[in-house]
Chains A and B, each alone.
Chain A
Amino acid sequence: MDFFGIPIQAVLGQLMLGIVNGSFYAVLSLGLAIIFGVLKIVNFAHGAFFMLGAFVAFMSGRYLGIDYWAALFIAPLVVACIGIVFEYLFLRRLYGLDPIYGLLLTFSLVLVLEGGFRVAFGSSGQPYPTPELLRGVFNLGFMVLPYYRAFVIVAALSVCLATWFLIERTRLGASLRAATERPDLTQAFGINVPLLVTLTYGAGVGLAAFAGVLAAPIFHVNPSMGSNLVIIIFAVVVIGGLGSIIGAIVTGLALGIVEGFTRVFYSEFSSTIVFLVMVAVLLLRPAGLFGRTEA
């Protein structure tokens, strides 16, 4: 069986890889979109928090003997706390200023975090074992699918759906959306908006850390694992429409698949196709695919 002269197995294999990558993009860009929606800050440090999540899992495994399943919960919590401290001490001072300053402050945080981990662990990767339970593969006949990759897709998408449900269908989410639209009015209704903002930042970077733990067994845990990813995530969020929750999830997954297909036909271009799509989308639909057009 051929697909434009390329064996169907190769196409499906790349497609599966694309969906796995797309799941990471979806979780990461979801966090970025939430943070942008509420804080109006472009969190350049999102990739660094992703890396931090992987490192917390790795370090807690090596020094404290905490296994993967516990790390999957602990690492996002730890990173969320770090994020909350960062927001409370520093980021908070920049609200109301031009969004450029938020971008720059988080950019400098990237330098500190990545540099710090490079000092401590060197540039080369640290292997992180796949959990016992998920070693092995599904044999689908036409291709093999490692259990772990299937688990990543399911876990990532469940977290995305849960977050979407939390924001769009619950009372807490309603307050959050209200705080996004009119912080002053929401505050007047007795909702503690600054607290909500701080927690949102924590939740956003916690999502990034969750993706980091998921990624740890697939990629090597290394200080620059998030640095190129963050650029792609930006593109995803801009294509989906800044601040759009569902846009971030759908676009993340879709771009992973587009990347997978590109890898089949012109593999070198796969890491760049995202930017071509982004330029095209911004020229045709300036507010992004799911964004509301601004006045």
Chain B
Amino acid sequence: MWEPFLLAMGMLSEPMNLLVLAVGAVSGLILGALPGLFLAGLTIGMTFTFGWDPETAMFLMAGMMGAATEGGSVPAILLNIPGEAPNAATCFDGHPMARRGEAGRAVGLAAASSFLGAVVGMCFLMILIPFVKIIVLSFGPPEFFMLVVFGLLTVAYAARGNMLKGLVSAGIGVLLSLIGFSPVHGVLRFNFGSDNYLWDGIPLVPFFIGLFAIAELVNHVLRGETIAEGGERIKVGLFGAFRGFLEVFHYKATLVRSAAIGILAGIIPGIGGVLANFLSYSMTVQFSKNRELFGTGNPEGIIASEASNDAKDGGALLPTIIFGIPGSAGMAVLLGAFILHGLQPGFFFVREHMEIVFVLIFGFVISNFLASLMAAFGADILARVTTLRVGYVVPAAFLLSVGGAYAARENVWDIGIAIAAGILGFAFNRFGFSLVTLVIGFLLGVRAELSFVQSLQISAGSYAIFFTRPVTIVLMILSILMLCLPWLSSRRGRASS
């Protein structure tokens, strides 16, 4: 435990890694403040890490991911527009507080809550990893296969919109992952006549860039002239920000409860920051003696929202690292970065590359710290960034996306994949199909197939292996329950009406 910890500390002390982390934090903060652009930026950022040391790449990813939600709180408070979806509840009390002349206090509260929430989340991850390692040891191929099935069903259910569409997205994602040469069976499958280009399957980087970056740019063109419209901008006072920073310590119970909700929401695949955010806010309202003050600029409302959405990263990293099952689009991109750098999450990852886990933990905490300071003292500039004209942002971001899609493999056909994936991603977003389930299905499909085949090899071809082991039985029951949820929900709805 201590050796990888010290190794990661050593990596952190290298000037290059510190610089990369700081660049990641600054870009994550700015992208987080620009509604809808964070995932696009994160995916483009991932492409720049190609050829880097894995740990340096992880510092960039952690830097960007850690700072994003903090960046999103600033426009939520000053403009009443959440930069990121998980900042939505910050608007409820952040903006009213800013409107009554306490913008600095609100920004300071959000900054301190975000940082402390992230610290609690990462501490939780560090404490839990040794225990989870023991649990993971009991996971063989049948358990892993059932876990993937359960994970996909959970994500399909948890994602916004229709469950049927979520399941179709997952299925299409898994099918697309089967394209290419299968090392398990030794055959080239579903290659559409391509014997070379699709040998390794659909290339990950241009596929992700298309889905997350190019599709989102079209959405921005449709939305209007500037990245974030509307809302009056309010000035932030530095003294107020400092006061808000310290005020968080008066609300320790709210902070800890919100962080705990964030962690729990993060662990469950698909739940993610939006739910953590609203769940934590509504729980804080329930526990408060002054419920009538919520929505009028109550500091507890800001703390509840911001502590939970930053603490959830600690929880969300756990299934991503231990099982390779990402629970959100951001974690799916992080998993993509793992794959890009030859890292395969799972028990062996934690055993062999524990230093990478610590690199991520340090990266998230330091990035949150830097982002909190920058947000508290540079909120005015950050709010101004959101009024950038789409006419400037879209061509620059598109060219950067295409460059990134090409750079990973230096293959010109990758540009075509990126544009095609952009059309697919846009259509999925537009008509309520979940991109998160598509991506998670795409990332897990091949591993699920491998586990399925390995399970049958262990059992000499008997399917009973999936019904006779305790963990697979539990996961199967949970999966069936998940499938029955629409029916149960409609029954409950009928009964209550």
Instruction: Note whether A and B form a binding pair.
Output: no
